[in-house]
Structure 1
Amino acid sequence: MTDPLLVDLSRLQFALTAMYHFLFVPLTLGLSILVAMMETVYVMTRRKIWRDMTKFWGLLFGINFALGVATGLTMEFQFGMNWAYYSHYVGDVFGAPLAIEGLMAFFLEATFVGLFFFGWDKLSALAHCVVTWLMALGTNFSALWILIANGWMQNPVGSLFNPDTMRMEVTDFAAVIFNPVAQAKFVHTVSAGYVCGAVFVLGVSAFYILRGRHLELAKRSFAIAAAFGLASALSVVVLGDESGYAVTDHQKMKLAAMEAMWHTEPAPAAFTAIGVPDLENRTTRYALHIPYAMGLIGTRSLTTEIPGITELVGHAKDRIRNGFVAYAALERIKADRTDEAARTEFARTQQDLGYAQLLKPLIGDPLKATDADIDRAAWSTVPHVPSLFFTFRAMVACGFLLIALFGAALWYTAREAEAPRWLFRAALFALPLPWIAIEFGWFVAEFGRQPWIIEGVLPTALATSELGIPSLLITIAGFTLVYGVLAVIEVQLMLRAIAKGPETLAEDPAALFPGAGANRNAAGLVAAE
């Protein structure tokens, strides 16, 4: 049996690298669109201020993009090194979207990033604007294919386990691409990235306004970020509702844990706004319910029930027992490839094979399981309820605070009224909120899937490589150290660029890098021209 500590450390290492990488992704998504919008206005008006805005925010985009690429490469290698059995088991399916992302989206994005920075004096204004939009399109395409891969892990459609190869194989690639969970995750995640970019522009612009610096650029940037941010934040709410609907269909246990819904309620279920989940007594104390809300969000109806945790555990027990048949049939196929009766039995029950495998970390051989073992395995399908309950509500709270901020900012800018200083201070202090909301959102999405690495198909405990615990501890410490250094570099470069300001950087891009003045040609790497 796999050492539980090995599994936990493998999960911790991937969580650290993934959540760190995703500090850069949403800002890249948001800034790419905002920069493209600013350059479009420049092409239409030919006013220099919009060109300066494009260059300044484009420079900050470039710094963030570089760190995002560097941290993303690590994750690709982890699949083969830390999660070798996972890569073997589902590589035929999971690897396809990742390969397409690298060959199509990332190369498109990287190519046009280069043209964006080096093409100001070599391309016409219209051609450069097209390049900027293609750069933004490549950024979004990268997110699309990554989320198709992740969406398949949440809802493994268009694939089937092959008992001859002992691997999952693609049966319908169109179903993988148009997976409803993947599509809902894509639009929700991208919209959250747009919010992140808008908050960043809003906050930095507010800093300039409070300091009385670069006011022409700052006020225009503040206005465009307010409008774009409000539209994006409202779309996050709408698209988040769609994600909730998809979770109801395909990940019922995750939804029940997020809501701390221990038992099935009469339709339509209420939404628990606040409360304290009690694991020992399997209830939620001090709960404040909003009648009908969860039923409408989760089922779009007033008559459809949302199953509770206890009922879903009972359903998991049935699937575990049915999985015994699939597991036994697979063992017979291994022993005799020509056993047609075993193949027929396996084809009938293979959808529950993963549930039988939940017992392997507990007792090794699922066929020797007792009723107590089955009960333990069934309850292992319940993720940690308080963690999901509170992080989901913190994410939602951050979202509504940002909607209020964007609404107030747009109210003043649309009326061309002088905004109060408290609004600019609020924009500055709100800078961390989108990252908090996004990281919490990913925590809910990924932690809520446990104990599955592939929902209903492959338990996480069976997916790891046979690495030594000392190796994992050393690499976790190494990643923490290296990523800490990269974080310091990223923040220093960003703060230095913001402190220097758009006018200084436009005149002397080498000013961002002290000591680089003797090599002004090298400064072209980060300069707009």
Structure 2
Amino acid sequence: MIDMLVVDLSRWQFAATAMYHFIFVPLTLGLSFMMAIMESVYVMTGRQIWRKATLFWGTLFGINFAMGVATGIVMEFQFGMNWSYYSHYVGDIFGAPLAIEGLMAFFLEATFIGLFFFGWDRLSKVGHLVVTWLTALGANFSALWILIANGWMQNPVGAKFNPDTMRMEITDFMAVIFNPVAQAKFVHTVSAGYLSGAVFILAISSFFLIKGRHVELAKRSAVVAASFGLASALSVVVLGDESGYVATEHQKMKIAALEAMYHTEEAPAPWTLIAWPGENGEPGFHISIPWVGGLITTRSFTEELPGINELVERAEDRIRTGIIAYSALQDIRADGSNEEARAIFDEYWPDLGYGLLLKKYRVDIENATEAEIAMAAQDTVPGVWPLFWTFRIMMGLGFFYIAFFAMWFYRASRGWIDTNKPLLWFSFVTLPLPWVAIESGWFIAEFGRQPWVVEGVLPTFYAASGLTVLDLVLSLSFFVLLYTVLLIIMVFLMVRVIKAGPKDKLFADDDDADDFVMAAIPATPANKELGS
């Protein structure tokens, strides 16, 4: 039987490392494009203030990028360490986008980052500008392939289970790439990254203006951030709506849980603004807005939005057909030439994953009782109230930033960037809020998919490795400690760069550049000789 404590600890470890890693990713996405915009202005106008701005924000980008790489590598190793059956089951599909990301996007980004830092006095203005834009494009390509992989976990298209290899295999790679869930997640996620970059630059620029330091650079940076931030905030909300609409098509249980909607409502369904749990966990006191929920999720006046209870009943039916698929699979494994079993399996294999939900309760799932089927179906309901409130936090912050950047865009157009010190302080102290929204979004995406590691295909508990509780306690403690130290180091380095302020050159001379390079190389005897 499955040890659920091992599964839960494996989930906690991956969640901890993933959420730490995604502290760095949004800022990499946002800063990359904004420093490219600033350098474009420098190349077009020749004004040194824009070169200085690009250097300053580029230095902060470099620190953040390095930490993102350090924290991201561990996540990929966890698929083999903590989720070995997942890697076996879907590795043919999930591994392809990850490999392409490493070969195409990450190498592109990493290569041009080096040229960005060391090419200022070695490349022409236009040549260096091309390098900067390619760095930004590399960061976004990297996000694209990661989100294609994650989107497939949310909506597993273009693949089929092979009973001979006992693995999911690709049948249509283009369907995997152009998966509507992946595409919606990509544009929504990168828009959130652009928003975080704009907030970061506006917050630091506000701090400089409060202190009366680097005023000209801060004003110009704030103007760029206000314009870029308004476009990003609008994009986040609009594209988030598109992401929700796509989820309605492919992840109905997630949408029902987000709305705490236990019963199917007449079309178009209302949207619940706030609610508190009542009897049996269902909403007690609540405030709802008629029609809004149905219009947002289905974009029609006639299409119903199924409630949790109805979806659980549908899950029971799929579990029963999943038992048929599982039984046929056992017959195929016993006799590979059994054509009757293959015909049955071909008809029912899409529900095999639902049958596997019963493995939580018994090994011989062909003999499952109605009570066990009911319990397995109930497991398809994710945690309703954490999702309900997290979604409203994320959505509220999205609309807040539309108003926030609209106000700053108006002030920038009037030349009122530095005329209101309380407003500057407000902009500075709200710096962490984009990360609250972003981490909330990832919580919704991943926690809302439970109990599936691959939606409808592979239950999370069935995907874990056979580790011990002690293994996971030690590794989880180690990673949390290590990542916390890395986060502290990043904050320390960024604060140090911000306090030092912008410079005319990244390095004062070639010796400083050499010291920068050698500091990043392990101090082995061979490397010391090479450095000399």
Using the size of structure 1 for normalisation, the TM-score is 0.96
Q: Aligned-pair RMSD on alpha carbons? A: 1.6
The equivalent of 2:32 in structure 1 is 32
* Aligned equivalents of 2:267, 2:51: Cα separation in 1: 56
Residue aligning to 1:309: 308
Cα pair 2:272 2:287 within 8 Å, conserved: yes
Q: Does 1:401 align with 2:400?
A: yes
Report the alpha carbon displacement of residue 2 of structure 1 after superposing the two structures with TM: 1.5
Corresponding residue SS for 1:287: strand
CA deviations 1:222-256 (Å, max 9, x no partner) are 11101100100000000000001000000000000
Q: Does structure 2 conserve the Cα–Cα contact (< 8 Å) formed by 1:409 and 1:423? A: no
One-letter amino acid of the counterpart of residue 143, structure 1: A
Distance 1:206 1:525, change over 3 A: farther
Partner Cα distance (2:210, 2:517) in 1: 31
Judged with a 3 Å threshold, the aligned counterparts in structure 2 of structure 1 residues 187 and 451 are, in CA distance, closer, same or farther, namely same
Deviations 1:105-127 (A, max 9, x none): 00001011111001101110001
Aligned to 2:23: 23
2:522 corresponds to which residue? none
Please state whether the residue corresponding to 1:359 is helix, strand or coil. helix
Q: Is the 8 A contact 1:268 1:302 kept in 2?
A: yes
Q: TM-score, normalised on structure 2?
A: 0.95
Q: Could you say what secondary structure the match of 2:276 adopts?
A: strand
Distance 1:520 1:339, change over 3 A: closer
Q: Secondary structure at the match of 2:274?
A: strand
3-state SS of 2:168 partner: strand
In the alignment, which residue of structure 2 is the partner of 1:522?
Answer: 515
Q: Distance in 1 between matches of 2:475 and 2:363?
A: 29
Deviations 1:261-305 (A, max 9, x none): 010000001111111134x52421221111111111111111100
Structure-2 separation of matches of 1:370 and 1:243 = 38
3-state SS of the aligned residue for 2:456? Answer: coil
Separation in structure 2 between the aligned mates of residue 178 and residue 448 of structure 1, nearest angstrom: 22
**By how many angstroms is 1:366 displaced?**
1.2
Determine the structure 1 residue equivalent to 2:425: 425
Q: Is the 8 Å Cα contact of residues 109 and 135 (structure 2) preserved in structure 1?
A: yes
Confirm or deny: 8 A CA contact 1:277 1:385 kept in the other structure: no
Tell me the CA shift for residue 421 of structure 1: 1.4
Q: CA deviation at 1:408?
A: 1.4
Distance 1:53 1:524 in 2: 23
> In the superposition, relative to structure 1, how do residues 507 and 88 fare at CA in structure 2: closer, same or farther (>3 Å)?
closer
Residue number in structure 2 paired with 1:198: 198
Equivalent pair of 1:206/1:425 in contact (CA under 8 Å): yes
Match of 1:366 in 2: 365
- Does the CA contact (< 8 Å) of 1:28 and 1:193 recur in 2? yes
Match of 1:107 in 2: 107
Query: What SS does structure 1 have at the residue aligned with 2:361?
Result: helix
CA apart distance, 1:519: 5.5
In structure 2, do the counterparts of structure 1 residues 295 and 49 end up closer, same or farther at CA, with 3 Å as the change threshold? same
Change (3 A) 1:525 1:110: farther
Q: Is the 8 A contact 2:263 2:307 kept in 1?
A: yes
In structure 2, give the amino acid aligned to 1:441.
G
Displacement, 1:525? 8.1
SS at match of 1:157: coil
User: Matched residues in 2 for 1:357 and 1:46: separation?
Assistant: 64
Give secondary structure in 1 for the equivalent of 2:273. strand
- The DSSP-based 3-state class of the residue aligned with 1:150 is helix
**Where does residue 487 of structure 2 map in the other structure?**
487
Question: Does the aligned pair in 1 maintain the 2:154–2:455 contact within 8 Å?
Answer: yes
Distance 1:336 1:101, change over 3 A: same
1:485 CA drift (Å)? 1.0
Residue equivalent to 1:514: none
CA 1:258–1:290 in 2, change beyond 3 Å: closer, same or farther? same
Question: What is the Cα deviation at residue 40 of structure 1?
Answer: 0.4
How big is each residue's C-alpha offset from its partner over 1:478-506, in whole Å with a ceiling of 9 and x where there is no partner?
A: 11111111111100000000011003x74
- Give the secondary structure class of the aligned counterpart of 1:151: helix
Tell me if the contact between 1:405 and 1:426 (Cα under 8 Å) persists in the aligned partners.
no
1:159 and 1:170 in contact (8 A); partners too: yes
2: CA distance, partners of 1:524 / 1:41: 29
Taking structure 1 as reference, are residues 447 and 509 closer, same or farther at Cα in structure 2, changes over 3 Å only?
A: farther
| 1:107-161 per-position Cα deviation (integer Å, ceiling 9, x unaligned) | 0010111110011011100010011000000000000000000000000000000
Deviation, 1:84, is 0.3
Task: Check whether the contact 2:263–2:306 (CA below 8 A) recurs between aligned residues.
Answer: yes
Distance in 2 (alpha carbons) for counterparts of 1:408 and 1:523: 41
- 1: CA distance, partners of 2:249 / 2:295: 13
Correspondence list, 1:223-234, <5 A:
223-234=223-234
Aligned counterpart, 2:354: 355
4+ residue runs over 4 A deviation? 507-510, 517-520
Alpha-carbon separation, structure 2, partners of 1:442 and 1:119: 36
Q: Please state how far the C-alpha of 1:54 moved relative to its aligned partner.
A: 0.3
Cα 1:356–1:506 change in 2 (3 A) is same
Q: 1:402 to 1:264 in 2, by over 3 A?
A: same
- Cα 1:507–1:33, aligned 2, differ >3 Å: closer, same or farther? closer
Q: How does 1:124-135 map to 2 (within 5 A)?
A: 124-135=124-135
- The aligned counterpart of 1:291 is 290
Farther-moved stretch of structure 1 (197-206 vs 394-403): 394-403
Total equivalences in the alignment: 519
Structure 2 residue ranges without an equivalent (≥5): 520-532
- Three-state SS of the structure 1 residue aligned to 2:296 is helix
Question: Could you tell me whether the CA contact under 8 Å between 1:413 and 1:419 is conserved in 2?
Answer: no
Distance 1:410 1:522 in 2: 41
Q: SS state of the match for residue 213, structure 1?
A: coil
Q: Map Cα deviations across residues 146-202 of structure 1 (whole Å, 9 max, x no partner).
A: 000000000000000000000000000000000000000000000000000000000
Please tell me the residue identity of whatever aligns with 1:521.
Answer: D
SS at match of 1:165: coil
Alpha carbons 2:117, 2:506 under 8 Å: kept: no
Q: In the alignment, does 2:238 pair up with 1:238?
A: yes
C-alpha distance in 2 between matches for 1:15 and 1:377: 24
The 5 Å alignment of 1:261-272 reads: 261-272=261-272
Which residue number in structure 1 is paired with residue 477 of structure 2? 477
Report what 1:513 is aligned to: none
The CA deviation string for residues 378-401 of structure 1, in whole angstroms up to 9 with x for no partner, is 000000101100111011112222
- Which residue type is aligned with residue 514 of structure 2? N
- Equivalent residues of 2:55, 2:506 under 8 A apart: no
Task: Indicate the residue corresponding to 1:164 in structure 2.
Answer: 164
The aligned residue for residue 175 of structure 2 is 175
| Deviation readout 1:53-96 (Å, 9 max, x if unpaired) | 00000000000000000000000100011100000000000000
Q: 1:339-394: CA deviations, max 9, x gaps?
A: 00000000000011000100001122211211110110000000010110011101
Q: Which amino acid aligns with 2:452?
A: W
TM-superposed CA distance for 1:509, in Å, is 6.1
**Percent same amino acid among aligned pairs?**
63
